Amino acid sequence: MRVALFLTCVNDTLYPDTGRAVVKLLTRLGVDVDFPMSQTCCGQAHYNTGYRHEAEPLARHFSDVFRDYEAIVTPSGSCGAMVRELYPRMGERARAEGRGEGLATALAPVVPKTYELTEFLVDVLGVTDVGAYYPHTVTYHPTCHGLRGLGLGDRPRRLLQAVKGLELKELPGADECCGFGGTFALKNSDVSAAMGADKVRNAESTGAEVLCAADNSCLMHIGGTMGRLESDMRPVHIAEILASTEEEPAA
Amino acid sequence: MSGTFVGMPAFPRAAHEAVNNQTLRGNLRHATHTIRAKRANAVAEVSDWAELREAGKRIKDHTLRHLDRYLVQLEESVVAAGGTVHWAADADEANEIVTQLVKMTGESEVVKVKSMATQEIGLNEALEAAGIRAYETDLAELIVQLGKDRPSHILVPAIHRNRGEIRDIFEREMGEWGRPAPEGLTDTPAELAEAARLHLREKFLRAKVGVSGANFMVADTGTLVVVESEGNGRMCLTLPETLISVVGIEKIVPTWQDLEVFLQTLPRSSTAERMNPYTSTWTGTTDEDGPQNFHLVLLDNGRSDTLADEVGRQALRCIRCSACLNVCPVYERAGGHAYGSVYPGPIGAILSPQLRGTASEIDASLPYASSLCGACYEVCPVAIDIPEVLVHLRERVVQGGPVVREGNKVVLKPAKGHAAERAAMRAARWAFAHPGVLRTGQRAASRTRRLHPRTLPGPGKAWSGTRDLPAVPAEPFRDWWQRTNGGTSETGGSK
């Protein structure tokens, strides 16, 4: 199976370790991974801030880059939800505004074959035990777009529970937003920071060493808050935990 | 204080104070989390909740699509039952109609049962200007009125007040408005409730005119419905000689059978009750029983304009249950006052900028008062996709575009103050459309990474004031991929 890694612009630029972990993990599971070099950004920040017309060319670009792959895998619930939930809406709006079928037709083939990483592992590859080893206590934060946008359900937690050495701690108020919200973090920084601080305090109350999530954007906000609050916890992307093995353990 | 919230600052500034008020934060957190958990239990008891939610959505959408027809039917039914119907295009018209109706009775005071529509139009202030005193009789509304305060929640307008504050308000203010608070009033709930009961009883028995809102209006019988917990509403609806109901035109349902759905979803969503304690229905007038004069004021005030918007119109499905407020992480931290409207929280963030337009600072900022976490949509008993409408309204704010205002099609200009953001978004889109540009930027960031400051100046302070910046890696992923061919030709390397 030949799949394309849609890493997302945030991961590519700031969190390359997550991308390397996805490659390592999928390769270990027998998947042939390609990284199309012309990929950039799904356009979510534009769309959600009110710049749909700036997001449309990026959606078209996404389709041009990824349309010929069997599956498109992304380690981001939020960017995955952008493609699966909002691309069809963008197509519909373009049609409703009399701009023809072009955008809808361009986006249709990529939407159903785009998967968030944990979804791809559980639903497409049919694995929950990926042979990982990670001897740490972990609490899991289900990010909003993963939880409510994509409906990831308990897939990530099932994957984590199967990791050897990992002790999973329940996060109080897990389904509450961490306060990132893209440009919300800047436009309403007071409220965003208050939400982030509450999330960190809830995470700390579990006594876990690591807060894990399937989205580095939320982890950037939570981790940045942990740093400022001088928390002993650290944020880790789920891909890095699942890629970790006894031979090559992640930190 | 004005009920119409003119000149409110933008949401982020209005929220700033609440975020830093630890007492308020604690009160709100406790209240919203308690009701949130109770609601979840009340909803989980119903096996066909998803179907009820879908049915509520369908009934409302159908009614809104044929609103013209149902409103005419309602008017005919109300008149046939002995009532009088008045049509008000905006707040001024509605206030004028009610003021004249009260004056015609020769009375100078009215009792009111909680009505968001009259809060929306600032009726109390308009009546006061005409020498008429309006007494709120819902307990929470009474607390807000006596405290010269503003409501901060749809269902629990005094949610921001604790027992001690309420005791002080009662002791200080009740005497100004009627029967004073009993001597030595403490802050126990039973004593506070008794004080309010005695104070209000005097007003109910004296009042000749009642003003109400309604949760629903049934088109085929001309019946209005109020759903409440305290029974004060029922007294307002039955004791006065004249009853004036001010109701938004979107509150209509076609038949009694449609109520079946909402009388299940509304109490469970709002107070987490299987059924609310009092459901009062009234149809026109009945000889020698209840008010002998009944006036229905049908309020538009931006609703028709909202209905003209294909995406935004779903906000008119709202049955005012306030479930979205109770699950909203932004409401929980910012409090209700920051929304600058009688409609706070997520529903307020999409309703106010549609009813009032996006011209004012507060209205232009409301669509951004959300992290788009989606909890409000998930909890909404009539499935309003609040995040979708928020993004739609954000687009209206930054890009402008065609809208209907006061029945006329107009093209809005983009709101002021977004020029830099617009330029940044365009530049980012351009860079993302040119992978080479993106790569050059990534490499420049990586090369200078040791020079990056811990805090940012200017707009960047909005991030770095409270959060550390992520460290820029030595090598973006795409460079690693190209250098190692996806890790197949070389592993390790620079990290």
3-state SS class at A37: coil
* Most A-contacting residue of B373, B422, B455 (CB-CB within 10 A), to test interface: B373
Q: Which residue has the higher pLDDT, A80 or B435?
A: A80
The residue in chain A having the minimum alpha-carbon distance to the alpha carbon of residue B484 is: A20
Residues of A in contact with B379 (CB under 8 A): none
A43 at B interface, C-beta within 8 A: yes
Would you call A177 and B459 a contact, using CB atoms and an 8 Å cutoff?
no
Residues of B in contact with A23 (CB under 8 A): 486-487
pLDDT tens digit sequence for A185-228: 999 999 999 999 999 999 999 999 999 999 999 999 999 999 99
3-state SS class at A94: helix
Q: Give the minimum alpha-carbon distance from A97 to chain B in angstroms, rounded to a whole number.
A: 11
How far apart, in Å, are the Cα atoms of B196 and each of B169, B206, B358?
11, 16, 39
* B330, B371 Cβ separation under 8 angstroms: yes
Residues of B in contact with A187 (CB under 8 A): 12, 368, 462
A187 at B interface, C-beta within 8 A: yes
pLDDT tens digit sequence for B351-390: 999 999 999 999 999 999 999 999 999 999 999 999 999 9
Would you call A50 and B398 a contact, using CB atoms and an 8 Å cutoff?
yes
The whole-model pTM stands at: 0.95
Q: Chain A, 53-112: which have a CB under 8 Å from a chain B CB?
A: 53-55, 57-58, 61, 89, 96
Residues of B in contact with A194 (CB under 8 A): 19, 25, 333
Q: Give the minimum alpha-carbon distance from A135 to chain B in angstroms, rounded to a whole number.
A: 23
* A177, A144 Cβ separation under 8 angstroms: yes
Q: Give the minimum alpha-carbon distance from A214 to chain B in angstroms, rounded to a whole number.
A: 15
A8 at B interface, C-beta within 8 A: no
Would you call B476 and A61 a contact, using CB atoms and an 8 Å cutoff?
no
Q: Give the minimum alpha-carbon distance from A158 to chain B in angstroms, rounded to a whole number.
A: 23
A23 at B interface, C-beta within 8 A: yes
User: Across chain A, what does the average pLDDT equal?
Assistant: 96
Instruction: Tell me the average confidence (pLDDT) per consecutive run of 10 residues in chain B, 495 residues long.
Output: 60 93 90 95 97 98 98 98 98 98 97 92 97 96 94 90 93 95 95 96 95 98 96 95 98 97 97 95 95 98 97 98 97 96 97 95 96 98 98 95 92 84 85 84 83 76 90 94 88 45
Q: Please count the residue pairs, one from chain A and one from chain B, whose beta carbons lie less than 8 angstroms apart.
A: 200
